[in-house]
Structure 1
Amino acid sequence: MSQWPDTRILDLLGIELPIIQGPMAGATNSSMVIAVCNAGGLGSMPAAMLSSEQLRDELKTIRQHTTKPFNVNFFCHQPPAPDEQRARDWKNLLEPYYRELGADFDAPTPVSNRAPFDEAACAVLEEFRPEVVSFHFGLPDKTLLNRVKATGAKILSSATTVEEAIWLEQHGCDAIIAMGYEAGGHRGMFLSDDLSTQVGTFALVPQVVDAVKVPVIAAGAISDARGVTAALMLGASAVQVGTAYLFTPEAKVSASHHKALRTAKESQTAITNIFTGRPARGIVNRAMRELGPMSAQAPAFPLAGGALMPLRAKDDADFANLWAGQALTLGKDIGSAELTRQLAEGALAKLNRH
């Protein structure tokens, strides 16, 4: 498949198809990454919810089962200062739900475990030397970033505005993921917290393409070959697909999430901060309807999720984050490898007709 309109991402990352599987913390493990890589795309291993040992085990498994390049993804937020009053107020707001569901309100509040990129994570990268490393919420500090670059890894990060894309290029990214407002999961925004300025994928992509010299990867509501084709025709070198991979058997999603993905309408997703403290798109459930979807009372990222954990344990349909993008109704129940190939082959067929 050499007839792609722009082969810069293929050449840069050493992959065959311009399809990048989105790193979805909690839903993606090594089996999905391996399937996508072996199909010719770029599999992406999310590390934000893994300990160093868990990450090491996953990377070992990936290396054992594929010789192809793969991506490891990290969050690089600043951990918030403790705010006991805000945490107490948030938990008090949830007390009626604790009573209703029979959860122990007086037990210590669990701690949400999304960790930013740090020395320990960097040491794991230096050990395994993945070909690609991607970041969310900007980039880590220069010392750590230089250590990652010294391993030979290509650096990607998400931009939700043209300003963020320019910043990422200036600070050393080899390619930029242009993440539209339609995308599922956490917004990659880092220069602004103003949701009203966020741009849709197919308005954002050509503007980012015009603003930077590095290759651009389109992300957000791309779930079939039509979306891939449109993104490439707007100047993207590749696409990053998330929600469509949640329908594959390799995805590690709860029964409630599995059902919601297959029954929700395209209008039933919203941006919410109540599950983690940071804006993210998911399928609307009871917690989002009654507490948000955006709440000024939610503790800072990633602390908001802790007080919800006991409720989620009792009823994950109503109190868990059901991340999904706006194109969720286009999802199909096929394997990760087959999805990767279908996205690429369908797009190539459409492009070659023009």
Structure 2
Amino acid sequence: MEWQNELTRLVKTSYPIVQAPMLGVTTPAMVAAISNAGGLGSLPVGGLSPDQTRSLILQTKALTTKPFAVNLFAHQNSPVNTAQADQMLQFLKKLCAQHQINYPKPDLNSIIFHSYEEQIDILLEENIPVVSFTFGILNKEVIHAFKEKGTVLIGTATYLAEATLLEQNGIDCITAQGMEAGGHRGTFLDSKTLPLIGSFSLIPLVAENCQVPVLAAGGIYNGKTIKAAFTLGAKGVQLGSAFISSNESLAIESYKKSIHDAAETDSVLTKTFSGRWARGIQNKFMMEVENSGLAIPDYPIQNALTTPLRVLAQKQNNKDFTTLWAGQSASKAESKPAGEIFQKLIKETESLP
């Protein structure tokens, strides 16, 4: 198989395979392992402070000299609905008490929401070669600043209208995120219903209507699915769930076990943890919030309200009260070094006729 194409030339990698940026799971070691193996590692910094952003970049640079991407959250923060948020806070406090969890209730007035615009100068100063983003589109001034620097920009689309808008704004590559993908949906245009377009429909649709390279995401986990994505018109693939159980992952042990034991139907869409639609394995927290009948505050408000609970649950290896983001093929994930997982993907693809 010929791996070199317009995407590898654009991002300067040996293989057109990208590790998905999974905030809370991805580590600098994982990013470096993929980049060192010839792919494109992706460092997630969405919503983090400028200091945290620079620290993670420097940690990654200490582990690789190869190109890697940094991923931003390109949304605009919504005003806080105080009454709605307070209702959710009271519910979370009661829920945790019922399960003997000491919920460290956050102060709504002290929560800080960092915008991607606070991170731009750091990315430019650190000469990040590839910047990917999701939840929206970067503003024109930021796009111009990156273009002046020669930075490659990759945006996320969940349906054709989003892909078209990204291309019209000069974005160099489009991640076509099928509904099978784990983690947060990248949807950003107003829509009455959440776009639930599968990869087999979305990839060719975007590839046929956009001139920039398409990166396929969702349901890709082995050589056959990689080759299928290329057949459908993609120039590259992005895999996330395949690396959740890797040695370099931050996922707690009960999270990894849940993935290995998961059936296809266990992966569901929910807004309960963050206020944005995301795909993960269903657990007690999801069901309790959904059954409460309460309105879920928008992202990033709900995300901030649940962060203390998730941090505590992870320390206790408690899978019922933290996020278990996973795609529909997550059960195929292996507990190996990320580099070995990557090399296996290459060999599987090359062995196919």
Q: Identify whether the pair has TM-score above 0.5, normalized to the shorter chain.
A: yes
- Closer, same or farther: CA 231–112 of 1 in aligned 2, 3 Å: farther
Match of 2:273 in 1: 275
Deviation at 1:130, TM superposition (A): 1.3
SS of equivalent to 1:282: strand
Whole-Å separation in 2 of the counterparts to 1:293 and 1:230: 39
Identity of aligned residues (%): 35
Match of 1:23 in 2: 21
Q: Which runs of 5+ in 2 are unaligned?
A: none
For 2:97 and 2:184, locate their aligned partners in 1 and report how far apart those are by CA, in whole Å: 30
Aligned to 1:330: 332
Q: Distance in 2 between matches of 1:193 and 1:203?
A: 19
Instruction: Name the CA shift for 1:62/1:95 in 2 (closer, same or farther; >3 Å).
Output: closer
Which of 35, 38, 41 is matched with 1:43 structurally? 41
Closer, same or farther: CA 104–337 of 1 in aligned 2, 3 Å:
closer
Q: Could you say if the C-alpha distance between residues 38 and 86 of structure 1 is closer, same or farther in structure 2, counting changes exceeding 3 Å?
A: same
Separation in 1, partners of 2:178, 2:113: 23
Residue by residue over 1:236-279, the C-alpha shift from the partner in whole angstroms, topping out at 9 and shown as x without a partner, is: 00000001110110011123312211222121011100101000
2:347 pairs with 1:348: no
SS in 1 for 2:98: helix
Within a 5 Å distance, the mapping from 1:1-354 to structure 2 comes to 3-4=2-3, 7-103=5-101, 107-109=105-107, 115-118=114-117, 120-292=118-290, 297-312=295-310, 313=312, 316-350=318-352, 353=353
Contact in 1 for aligned 2:47/2:115 (Cα 8 Å): no
Contact 1:156 1:176 in 2 (8 A): yes
Structure 2: how far apart are the matches of 1:256 and 1:293? Answer: 24
Q: CA RMSD for the aligned pairs? A: 2.2
- Structure 1 unmatched ranges of 5 or more: none
Question: What's the CA shift string for 1:89-116, capped at 9, x where partnerless?
Answer: 2123334313213456794447777743
CA spacing shift, 1:276–1:293, aligned 2, 3 Å: farther
- What TM-score does the superposition give when structure 1 sets the normalisation length? 0.92
Per the normalisation by structure 2, the TM-score is: 0.92
How far the C-alpha of 1:342 sits from its partner, in A, is: 1.7
Distance in structure 1 (CA, Å) of the matches to 2:106 and 2:65: 45
Which moved further from structure 2: 87-96 or 152-161?
87-96
Following the alignment from structure 1 to structure 2, what is the Cα–Cα distance between the partners of residues 255 and 112? 29
- 1:273-320 Cα offsets, whole Å, 9 max, x none, are 010100000110011123228976111101113333454425742121
State the aligned residue count: 348
SS at match of 1:67: coil
Q: In 1, distance between residues paired with 2:95 and 2:209?
A: 48
